[in-house]
Structure 1
Amino acid sequence: MLEESDDPVVKTVQPSLKTGRKWKVTEAVDEAKECLKMKEVIGQTQTDRRGLGSTTAKWWSKTEGKEKRYMIIDEIRNKEDSTRVQKAVQQPQQGQWTNWDTAIQRSLTWNDIWHMAPLRISFLIRSVYDLLPSNANLVRWGKKDDPTCPLCQGRQTTEHVLSSCKVALSQGLYTWRHNRVLQELASVISTAKGEIHPSSTSSTVFTTEGGVKKWHGGSIPLNTHRKGLLDGCDDWVVSADLPEWERHPDVIRKSALRPDTVIHSASTQLTVPYESRMEEAHAFKEGKYLNLTKELKKDGYEAKVMPVEIGARGFVGSSAYGLLSKLSIGGNKRTKALRLLAETAENSSRWIWSRRNESLLHKE
């Protein structure tokens, strides 16, 4: 990679790098170069939901120096990531995370890991790869003979402990976790009430001599404001299905259904499912409140149901991201809110896991 340097002396240096038997630097770099050249021949393609032309591509023949080195590094990294995913897909147990299509990728920096308690890191990593010492895993590893759950006599897997044990359900453990996450979600939503959601803004535009536009008074120009679900509303109320929160309006309480959160003309339904069942939970909640939405619309209300999923292991569903965006909660506030929801679900599940074999569980 030094051959792209502007310095003629550095350009001729060919250091010998020692690597393992399965990976060679020179082979990886040469392969990355060929891939980048082939991508330029194929042209720009679109692989996600963004429209054509919304992204710009860098071509190998039009870059030089550091840009080429960065392109090679990124290409090698992407190839290694792709290889790991391909290997994980072939693993029916440890590779289950490859099927979490609606879960947002959770990134942990070295700073995050450094400040985490060892038990938390252990639980998070082993729960993702299904390596926690459940009775089913202990039998698979030859450490135990009986895979049954001591509480309900079902097969004790990680999924069973965190979301499917009938005894834990009857004792209210999953409800307790759900309410903890709901408490945080309702608090996040209620903070949006203090934000300004203007239906229209006025601003004076000045153009300097250099052609740079400035807005007088610090107001946001009309075409830069991202429209939210509650734009133009400043009297909406957040109610939650929690004891200390405001009760749902009469038009909701007269039905037999109890949405987790009601926001003026929108209803939010929270679910804390196992990550592999996020799509199933989302579809179930949408169908559950379909008739209620129709009845409210017949009565002249503008009703919208938005199911939200926060995974039991702390992986936030894309529905939560979409909800906050529709409420005009974005940027760092949205990032912090999603992180708070993820950590609340993860900490609650870790508590449930630590008491998986107790016959009577009491929460404080």
Structure 2
Amino acid sequence: MAGKVPPSFTSIGLYIRSGQLQLPKSSVVEKFKIAKCRLVMTIRDSKDRKVSQAGIEIQTGRKWSAEEVVENAESSLKLRDIIGNHCIGRQCLGTSHFQQWNKANIKEKRDMGQKATREREDEVRKSRGVELGAQGAWTKWELPQRRLTWAEVWRMEPYRISFFLLSVYDTLPTPTNLCLFGLKEDPLCKLCVERGTLSHILSGCKTALTQGRYIGGGMTMFYRRLHRQWTKNVQKRPRRINKPSSIAFVKRGEKTPTMKETRETILQLAHTWEFQVDLGKRLQFPQVVYTTLRPDAVLWSTKSKKLIMVALSVPWEENCEIAYERKRAKYQDLLDSCKEKGWQTWLYPIEVGCGGFPAQSVWKFITAIGLSGNERKRAVKKLGEEGILLVVDETRGYELETKLEK
């Protein structure tokens, strides 16, 4: 794989399947264990008695036994039959298929056993990640996971892949890490007197924020992509005209055809929209109320009296919830004032982590403006890629400094 990682990088980041950043790689040790478990179940469940009763022992070493792993996996699957299927997130009853152990055939039981073994190995990796201090900080993030495919890996530049891995597992050459590695005596930030941790360097330095170091080409590209996406969506989805409903008669013996309901998006509530983004502090709030606040993006329709405000933040991934509440509290009075003037107003605080992980608020905003399915996934991924450009240059600067000190 293109990109470089330091020798201290944990193998959890390369092979975990339930982590924050999932790579298209698999562990050789895991494949070895899965193959041994599959061999145990194949010999034991063979229809030929001479094979199943031959007493064949699978050699796996002293520290690990395939028979014990298969027995534990089958016990957990039988226990899951007793507990039943539990819903996760927004799942409802019947939305997912639940394969029961006692109703499965031999081949299905073999596949279920391998899957349970693979999940057990991933749980061990995640538990090890929780025990780590710096490289396990991603376990505290409450953000949607990101899974990279081989096609995405080959399209990305090497330094981008390295930044993904090193930022998630906190092994970038920050002042704190350089001091920990013995390459620097002072762990403080170069601009202020606080500790130069990764979260401080990428999004928490007040001096860098005052000097405008966090606002650069990446933010400009981010706003422009948002403007293009919004304009494209307005032109593509004109206002829907309600037609009179008619009675759909059904012949005897036929079933009523099911019609897919389409939700009306915010952009369909008005026919003409005006759009502005805060590029170079040139945003002028619409003449609805007087305010000195400047949201990052504003979309309004004077004729229909509808207003949409977007407040963008690029915080450290662990602080996305805090950034959401801070932005909502900042513009709440402006939201109430617009509503008092008779305008139907929406406020969307969205967060894109400085490591390139969009928060759940981004998915909510993209859905509200009318994108769905693969189109929504592509839009969210593009926003995450634009957000990461804000900090890559700063990171490469610290890498150059490390090489010069060596």
TM-score (norm 1): 0.83
Q: What residue identity is the alignment partner of 1:85?
A: K
For residues 281 and 194 of structure 2, the distance between their equivalents in structure 1, rounded to whole angstroms, comes to: 36
1:275 counterpart residue number: 317
For residues 173 and 133 of structure 1, the distance between their equivalents in structure 2, rounded to whole angstroms, comes to: 18
1:116 aligns with 2:137: no
For residues 249 and 358 of structure 1, the distance between their equivalents in structure 2, rounded to whole angstroms, comes to: 45
For residues 276 and 63 of structure 2, the distance between their equivalents in structure 1, rounded to whole angstroms, comes to: 58
Q: Aligned match of 2:362 in 320, 324, 329?
A: 320
Q: CA deviation at 1:115?
A: 3.2
Q: CA deviation at 1:119?
A: 2.0
- The answer to whether the 8 A contact 2:138-2:169 is kept is yes
1:258 aligns with 2:294: yes
For residues 89 and 203 of structure 1, the distance between their equivalents in structure 2, rounded to whole angstroms, comes to: 57
For 1:8-47, what aligned pairs fall within 5 Å after superposition? Answer: 8=47, 12=51, 22-47=63-88
Counterparts in 2 of 1:303 and 1:145: CA distance versus 1, 3 Å: same
1:183 aligns with 2:224: yes
1:237 counterpart residue number: 274
For residues 253 and 103 of structure 2, the distance between their equivalents in structure 1, rounded to whole angstroms, comes to: 30
Counterparts in 2 of 1:20 and 1:4: CA distance versus 1, 3 Å: closer
- The answer to whether the 8 A contact 2:278-2:295 is kept is yes
Q: Aligned match of 2:125 in 70, 80, 84?
A: 84
For residues 142 and 92 of structure 1, the distance between their equivalents in structure 2, rounded to whole angstroms, comes to: 18
- The answer to whether the 8 A contact 1:182-1:270 is kept is no
1:228 aligns with 2:256: no
Counterparts in 2 of 1:10 and 1:203: CA distance versus 1, 3 Å: farther
CA-atom RMSD in angstroms: 3.4
Q: What residue identity is the alignment partner of 2:164?
A: L
2:35 counterpart residue number: none
Deviations 1:290-346, CA, capped at 9 Å, x for gaps: 111111111101111110000000011000001111122011111111111111122
Q: CA deviation at 1:355?
A: 2.6
2:205 counterpart residue number: 165
- The answer to whether the 8 A contact 1:152-1:165 is kept is yes
TM-score (norm 2): 0.75
1:290 aligns with 2:332: yes
For residues 62 and 397 of structure 2, the distance between their equivalents in structure 1, rounded to whole angstroms, comes to: 45
For 1:69-108, what aligned pairs fall within 5 Å after superposition? Answer: 69-101=110-142, 103-108=143-148
For residues 186 and 10 of structure 1, the distance between their equivalents in structure 2, rounded to whole angstroms, comes to: 69
For residues 106 and 50 of structure 2, the distance between their equivalents in structure 1, rounded to whole angstroms, comes to: 11
Q: CA deviation at 1:210?
A: 9.6
Counterparts in 2 of 1:27 and 1:346: CA distance versus 1, 3 Å: farther
Counterparts in 2 of 1:317 and 1:8: CA distance versus 1, 3 Å: same
1:218 counterpart residue number: none
Identify the range of structure 1 (324-333 vs 6-15) with the bigger mean alpha-carbon deviation. Answer: 6-15
Q: What residue identity is the alignment partner of 1:323?
A: F
Mind listing any 5+ residue stretches in structure 2 that lack a counterpart? 1-37, 301-306, 402-406
Mind listing any 5+ residue stretches in structure 1 that lack a counterpart? 216-220, 360-364
Counterparts in 2 of 1:164 and 1:10: CA distance versus 1, 3 Å: farther
- The answer to whether the 8 A contact 2:176-2:197 is kept is yes
Q: CA deviation at 1:86?
A: 2.0
Identify the range of structure 1 (228-237 vs 297-306) with the bigger mean alpha-carbon deviation. Answer: 228-237
- The answer to whether the 8 A contact 1:260-1:268 is kept is yes
2:174 counterpart residue number: 134
For residues 91 and 317 of structure 1, the distance between their equivalents in structure 2, rounded to whole angstroms, comes to: 24
Q: CA deviation at 1:44?
A: 2.5
- The answer to whether the 8 A contact 1:4-1:64 is kept is no
Deviations 1:233-278, CA, capped at 9 Å, x for gaps: 33233321125998542225x2111111123322111111010110
Q: CA deviation at 1:211?
A: 5.2
2:98 counterpart residue number: 57
The alignment-based identity, stated in percent, is 32
Q: What residue identity is the alignment partner of 1:259?
A: P
Counterparts in 2 of 1:173 and 1:246: CA distance versus 1, 3 Å: closer
Counterparts in 2 of 1:21 and 1:356: CA distance versus 1, 3 Å: same
Identify the range of structure 1 (177-186 vs 36-45) with the bigger mean alpha-carbon deviation. Answer: 177-186
Q: CA deviation at 1:12?
A: 4.2
Deviations 1:41-82, CA, capped at 9 Å, x for gaps: 112223434345544422111222443333223322222222
Deviations 1:9-64, CA, capped at 9 Å, x for gaps: 69947987665765444333322211111010112223434345544422111222
